[in-house]
Amino acid sequence: MYRQHPLDNPARASLLGPHAHLAERCGQALRYPADISPFTALPDDADEAAWADLATLLGPGSVAVTAVAPAIAPASWTVLMTIDAVQMVGDHLAPAADGEAIVLRPADVPEMLDLVARTRPGPFRPRTIELGGYLGIRRDGELVAMAGCRLRPAGWTEISAVCTDPAVRGQGLASRLTLAVAAAIENQGDQPFLHVSADNVGAIRLYQSLGFRQRRAATFLVARVPAGPRP
């Protein structure tokens, strides 16, 4: 049974909880299907055996994205990058539906992928939309802004893929969509949270102005599975 606070290891809490139907598992290691999300999950105290499970689950040469601290990774794994982030919870928000926002559907995925490629808000795959609740704003028929939901630890839903086309930045679209997604999250009985890069001071200030507060620092590790059969 998972007994930590759900946000302490949110990918693992999601895959053991509300997203269990999506989980692929080998021993102690969990992952989302690769075309949904690159996130994997290990216990906080992951040992060599847990990392071996993850290597088996992913396959030689594959890339893992996990929130486990890089110092824990076996030496045979290649650390490609670490990302320092801030985890924020929205406990002082004023969520509000947005009359211009539309629900994005699978038919919109090509445009969503194009917007993500131009704005780089973070990982977004062809089936990420299945994680739920994506809203967008169109101008002259083109998708110019979006936001939606990703991880779902019990009682919480992560706001993710918040992005705006450079041509329409400064109009408050990201703020409006964030609050609209937060409203949908609260309507389903969850609390909103999100992650933002620690060096993105502007985004942190924006989220603080909306009513998010920092809960903790988080480090995401991107590492390559050893080429051999075991780490």
> Burial, 29: exposed, middle or buried (Cβ in 10 Å; 0-12, 13-18, 19+)?
buried
Torsion of the alpha carbons at 72, 76, 80 and 86, rounded to the nearest 10: -10
Domains and CATH numbers, the chain: 10-84+219-224 (no CATH), 88-217 (3.40.630.30)
Give the pairing type, strands 156-164 and 191-197. Answer: parallel
Does pTM surpass 0.95? no
> 125, 34 in Cβ contact below 8 A?
yes
- In sequence order, which residues have a C-beta less than 8 Å from that of residue 52 and are 6 or more positions away? 27, 230, 231
- The amino acid present at 105, given as its one-letter code, is R
* pLDDT number for residue 98: 97
The tens digit of pLDDT for each residue in 88-112 reads 999 999 999 999 999 999 999 999 9
The tens digit of pLDDT for each residue in 164-180 reads 999 999 999 999 999 99
Please report, for residues 28, 59, 69, 224, the alpha-carbon distance to residue 62 in angstroms, rounded to integers and kept in the order given. Answer: 18, 6, 18, 6
The tens digit of pLDDT for each residue in 116-126 reads 999 999 889 99
